Structure 1
Amino acid sequence: MDIGSDAKQSLKRAGSGTTLPSKSARAAGSHRNANIMATIENDDDRLLVRIGYTPVLHRHFSRWSTVSYAISILGVLGSVPATFGAPMGSGGPATAVWAWFIGSIMAYCIASSVAELVSAYPTAGGMYYVTKHVVPPEHVAPWAWIIGWCNFLGQAAGVASLAYTISQMILATAVMHSSLDDGSPTFTPTALQTVLLAILVLCLFGSICSFPTNWLHRIILWFAPINIIASVCICISLLVLTPNKQSAKWVFTEVMDGSGWGSRGFSFLLGFLSVAWTMTDYDGTTHMSEETHDAAIRGPVAIRTAILVSGVVGWMLTVTFCFCMSDYDAIMSTPTGLPVAQIFFNAGGRTGGTVMWFFVILVQVFTGCSAMLANARMAWAFARDAAFPFSDFWSRVNTLTNTPINAVWLVVAFCSCLDLIGIGSTLTIVAIFNITAPALDISYIAVIIAHRWYEGRVKFHPGPYTMGRWSKPVNAVAVTWVCFISVVLFFPTVKPVTVSNMNYAVCVAGVIGVFSCGWWWAGARRTYTGPRTNDIIDELPPEDPEDILSDYDIP
């Protein structure tokens, strides 16, 4: 078997920590060990076996499909229009523009910190699995339990919110097309219609995510190019078609106090909500590690590339939308509830606006599929470590597609239950959606803090990607930023605070914390031991990478 010089160099870069046993050690091993070794096809699976998991998924994701996946899970063309109203309403155009710029830089610091850790242990568990190697063995179980649940629930809330947002976008199109000449709508969607359409969208996500990995690879290759090309074309079209555009001075310097807190500075801080909601789920790409070639390198590269590309494209879209706010008050009070939709229809009319809006919805669908795929792989990894009820069922891999379909439809069912809450309470469903960013970001910085806190007590083997001497400063910036932005995300966005405008995300966070800790003390602490790896692999002695290559007849 010839994996080539690139694979050989990758194995060398990983160091002795990624090696496998010699022929004599393998001969002395158990029958189970022999079966594990028989599954090894390349150095990616060698590293996975060294980590302690038996390879069961097929690796079809290439360099470009991995980058495309990383970009699509952020999906700025879909996410920026969906969240644009928050910074514009709180602090005006300059807030939207500069909050996105600053937030993107901070997101790059978080993403780089995440990339460095997952490069060392590229598994479907992502940062959840890394916990096993950054805290002392006696603390692994509680750390992994809390971080795993934060990550799973944060991703699930994100998937549910994406489906709900797509439903709102589709229905907003219907509202615009049903409007009379004076702008008054003849159709107003109900909460039930919005939720039922959202569940239908979730089923669409689940159907696509149930495909074999090689199919997903071919489909996802197109996600990023469509996202980027459509974004550029829409920006050009809006700037050409929109009459009476705003001035550059208004766009880049006008900061308002739309929050009612009596402070433009605080209103500016609330503008970070858009970039915080959009630029998250950094470890989504790593959940596909067990289906990616050279995952220890390509995953981290894709994460950082996605932040750079999405940061630039998102800023371009934000600036364009601000220039096209020809009538600020009218656009912000649009009957659709989505200011960008009104901008599109003002510029292109019903036909042109619908065409542009179609691509926004399409990219949002791409983002939803990518997010569900990450959430499903996280659920599968969590289930294989016996963290769910009926974990044996959820951790099964379908023999026909060779993908964890059971975990996919677990996510579909769970997210559908979250969206059903929207029938009875819009406030509650919005609060659940608002927990996405802080839950995910806290799960990231918890691992980063643990890595630094226990650095002298736990031996960490760096992966091929490392920031070197910049690692600690970047980690510090990432942790500081998440602590700050989490407070902002939990803060009421409008004053005076009433029952109808209260930010209930902090209440949802409290419920999640009580649930996770309560379940742990009620029984999980006696059965859950953290990531369940094959100890027999961990006990095997390391050896030189060149010996491994020769043992497997790799030139």
Structure 2
Amino acid sequence: MLFNLTDGGTGGIFWGYTVVVIASIPIYLSIGEMASMSPTAGGQYHWVSEFSPAWCQKYLSYITGWVLATGWQGSVVGLSFSAGTIIQGLITLNDGTYVPQRWHGTLLVIAAVTLAILFNTAVAKKLPVVEICLLALHVAGVFAVVIPLLAKAPSFNSAQDALLHFQNHGGWSAMGVAVMVGSLTPLSSMLGFDCAVHMSEEIRDASRTLPKAIFWGVILNAAMGYLTVITICFTVTDYSILDSPTNYPFIQLFYNTTNSLAGTNVMVAIIIITLVCAVISEIATASRQIWSFARDGGLPFSPFLSKIPPNHPIPLNAVLVSFLSGVVISLINLGSTTALNAIISLTISALLGSYILSIGCILSKRLRGETLPPAHWSLGHKKGAVVNAVALVFLMPFFVFCFFPTSTPVDDQTMNWNVAMFGGILIFATVWYAVRGRKVYVPPVRRVKRDL
């Protein structure tokens, strides 16, 4: 809500989310098809290897693997950091004397990551049950938040104010730019449904199951997202919540609406619990990604990362490295929150970049007239090309705007350093590829064997 209300207002929230949902359809249709063709833990870097032209497939696949690996590791800290700072915001609401400290947030991040590691190791066999419980909490939590807001709101916006009132508090030269910058917030809520792909080698009948999991995830969350977005648009009548001492406008909105600390605490606690539980899924996804990439020799210390202990049914070394990575990245917050935010924001650009590369490669394979791998779920040659092209039309501008700061003028504190992080990853991966990677990395396409 903070970025969306600043850049776009309630109108920007509604129409930005609408565009994001429409864009999600061709994007995830494309990803679902590729997941059905090649259901492997590698996901996008595997698809780039399989579908790109032979002359560039090794390098493009390698770069995609690095972008994905770093992006998913950043997502672990991003969710944990959100949960931690929301806890600090809730404490501020309940105790006006509390002064948030960076080290408080860092400890909360470490606590969330530690809890996620326990679920991914000690109770790994029960992870599906945990995920089902999380789904139930996720769905029930939406109604537990939306119903009190609608029932207790002291006043509502008119339809015109709710859906057609735009704001440009970021100081952009045009309202359209402000809305596009603000739309990155709803975009982030509809990213990452490819996470199921990275668990594909632990899924029964993955070629059939993955597209269903992806599509139902998109449909369910899009519907609940619309319910939440419409509720926000009609109940946010006072933009002073942007200046809330909690640093989270939604916490202030909950309190202003319910006028109850107890009610606000329960509503916010649902969000905190959901975020912490989501870290469990992120650890599972991030660890499988680096395990798969290491299996192909794409990372330093690949033999260690790709090893699965005989007494564990999971890539334990990769899971532990994901834990250590989360802890180390969280320590950056002690020196600079800006630097930490730059690493966290890398997740959006990394996922968007991997979608562009993989969807672009399968489109190029279609345009070259080459035969695609068989799949239980296919878009077809002509329809598939159209869907892929439309997906890229949406992805490209989103990718560009994910590097924009939230407001102008820009200084070292308000600058979106995501562009430096993303560029740094590309440069480092390219140098490592030239020095070491090209000698040891084995593109997944060379390992593929199919029964046609």
TM bin, normalised by shorter chain, reads over 0.9
Pick aligned residue for 1:174 from 68, 84, 91: 91
1:314-341 deviations in Å (ceiling 9; x for gaps)? 1211221232224222x11001111111
| 1:465 is the counterpart of 2:377 | yes
Q: Report the alpha carbon displacement of residue 528 of structure 1 after superposing the two structures with TM.
A: 1.3
Residue 44 of structure 1 corresponds to which residue in structure 2?
none
- Structural mapping, 1:209-288, within 5 Å: 209-211=120-122, 214-288=125-199
Residue 251 of structure 2 corresponds to which residue in structure 1?
341
Pick aligned residue for 2:9 from 92, 100, 103: 92
Matched AA of 1:529: V
Whether the aligned pair in 2 keeps the contact of 1:87 and 1:96 (CA below 8 Å) is yes
Whether the aligned pair in 2 keeps the contact of 1:212 and 1:402 (CA below 8 Å) is no
1:1-25 deviations in Å (ceiling 9; x for gaps)? xxxxxxxxxxxxxxxxxxxxxxxxx
SS for the counterpart of 2:7 is helix
- Structural mapping, 1:322-401, within 5 Å: 322-329=233-240, 331-348=241-258, 349-401=260-312
SS for the counterpart of 2:8 is helix
Residue 332 of structure 2 corresponds to which residue in structure 1?
421
1:477-515 deviations in Å (ceiling 9; x for gaps)? 111211101111111221122222111111111111111
Residue 434 of structure 1 corresponds to which residue in structure 2?
345
When normalised by structure 1's length, the TM-score is 0.78
Residues 534, 474 of structure 1: CA spacing in aligned structure 2 closer, same or farther, 3 A cutoff? closer
1:266-290 deviations in Å (ceiling 9; x for gaps)? 2111221112222112320111111
| Paired positions, count | 449
SS for the counterpart of 1:492 is coil
SS for the counterpart of 2:362 is helix
In 1, Cα distance between equivalents of 2:410 and 2:300: 40
Pick aligned residue for 1:505 from 408, 414, 418: 418
- Structural mapping, 1:403-552, within 5 Å: 403-455=314-366, 456=368, 459-468=371-380, 469-531=382-444, 542=451
Whether the aligned pair in 2 keeps the contact of 1:259 and 1:493 (CA below 8 Å) is yes
1:237-257 deviations in Å (ceiling 9; x for gaps)? 111122123333211111111
When normalised by structure 2's length, the TM-score is 0.95
Residues 270, 214 of structure 1: CA spacing in aligned structure 2 closer, same or farther, 3 A cutoff? same
Pick aligned residue for 1:150 from 67, 73, 82: 67
In 1, Cα distance between equivalents of 2:320 and 2:117: 6
Q: Report the alpha carbon displacement of residue 136 of structure 1 after superposing the two structures with TM.
A: 4.4
Q: Report the alpha carbon displacement of residue 342 of structure 1 after superposing the two structures with TM.
A: 1.0
Q: Report the alpha carbon displacement of residue 381 of structure 1 after superposing the two structures with TM.
A: 0.8
In 2, Cα distance between equivalents of 1:494 and 1:134: 39
SS for the counterpart of 1:393 is helix
Matched AA of 2:78: S
Pick aligned residue for 2:18 from 95, 98, 101: 101
Q: Report the alpha carbon displacement of residue 516 of structure 1 after superposing the two structures with TM.
A: 1.0
In 1, Cα distance between equivalents of 2:326 and 2:15: 33
Whether the aligned pair in 1 keeps the contact of 2:4 and 2:13 (CA below 8 Å) is yes
Matched AA of 1:373: A
In 1, Cα distance between equivalents of 2:177 and 2:49: 39
In 2, Cα distance between equivalents of 1:275 and 1:322: 13
- The root-mean-square deviation of aligned C-alpha atoms, in Å, is 1.8
In 2, Cα distance between equivalents of 1:124 and 1:262: 43
Q: Report the alpha carbon displacement of residue 530 of structure 1 after superposing the two structures with TM.
A: 1.7
Residues 451, 534 of structure 1: CA spacing in aligned structure 2 closer, same or farther, 3 A cutoff? closer
Residue 296 of structure 1 corresponds to which residue in structure 2?
207
Q: Report the alpha carbon displacement of residue 458 of structure 1 after superposing the two structures with TM.
A: 5.0
Structure 1 gap segments, 5+ residues each: 1-83, 180-185, 544-555
Whether the aligned pair in 2 keeps the contact of 1:99 and 1:275 (CA below 8 Å) is yes
Whether the aligned pair in 2 keeps the contact of 1:134 and 1:458 (CA below 8 Å) is no
1:7-50 deviations in Å (ceiling 9; x for gaps)? xxxxxxxxxxxxxxxxxxxxxxxxxxxxxxxxxxxxxxxxxxxx
In 1, Cα distance between equivalents of 2:173 and 2:48: 43
- Structural mapping, 1:43-58, within 5 Å: none
SS for the counterpart of 2:75 is helix
In 1, Cα distance between equivalents of 2:445 and 2:332: 34
Whether the aligned pair in 2 keeps the contact of 1:321 and 1:340 (CA below 8 Å) is no
Matched AA of 2:377: Y
In 1, Cα distance between equivalents of 2:310 and 2:267: 41
Residues 187, 382 of structure 1: CA spacing in aligned structure 2 closer, same or farther, 3 A cutoff? same
Residues 256, 243 of structure 1: CA spacing in aligned structure 2 closer, same or farther, 3 A cutoff? same
In 1, Cα distance between equivalents of 2:291 and 2:150: 45
> Which stretch of structure 1 is more off in the superposition, 510-519 or 130-139?
130-139
In 2, Cα distance between equivalents of 1:139 and 1:95: 40
Matched AA of 2:222: G
Whether the aligned pair in 1 keeps the contact of 2:49 and 2:445 (CA below 8 Å) is no
